[in-house]
Amino acid sequence: MNAMSMEELEVFLRDSRIEIFNGPDPAGVLPPSLPPRGLSRVQGAAYVGVSPTLFDLMVSDGRMPKPKRANNRTIWDRLELDEAFAALPSEADANPWDEAVA
Tell me which of 3.30.379, 1.10.3210, 1.10.1660, 1.25.40 is the CATH number of domain 10-22+36-89: 1.10.1660
Pairwise CA distance, residues 40 & 16, whole Å: 15
pTM of the model: 0.65
Pairwise CA distance, residues 58 & 46, whole Å: 13
How confident is the prediction along the chain (102 residues), in pLDDT tens digits per residue? 466 677 776 766 666 555 555 455 545 788 888 889 999 999 999 999 999 999 999 999 999 999 999 999 999 999 999 999 999 998 877 776 766 665
Pairwise CA distance, residues 77 & 26, whole Å: 21
What is the model's pLDDT at position 91?
82
Pairwise CA distance, residues 15 & 4, whole Å: 15
What is the model's pLDDT at position 7?
76
Look at the chain and count its residues. Answer: 102
Is residue 54 classed exposed, middle or buried when 0-12, 13-18 and 19+ CB atoms within 10 A define those classes? middle
Pairwise CA distance, residues 50 & 64, whole Å: 11
What is the model's pLDDT at position 44?
96
What is the model's pLDDT at position 30?
81
Q: Where are the beta strands (DSSP E) in the chain?
A: 38-39, 68-70, 73-77
What is the model's pLDDT at position 1?
46
What is the model's pLDDT at position 101?
63
What is the model's pLDDT at position 3?
67
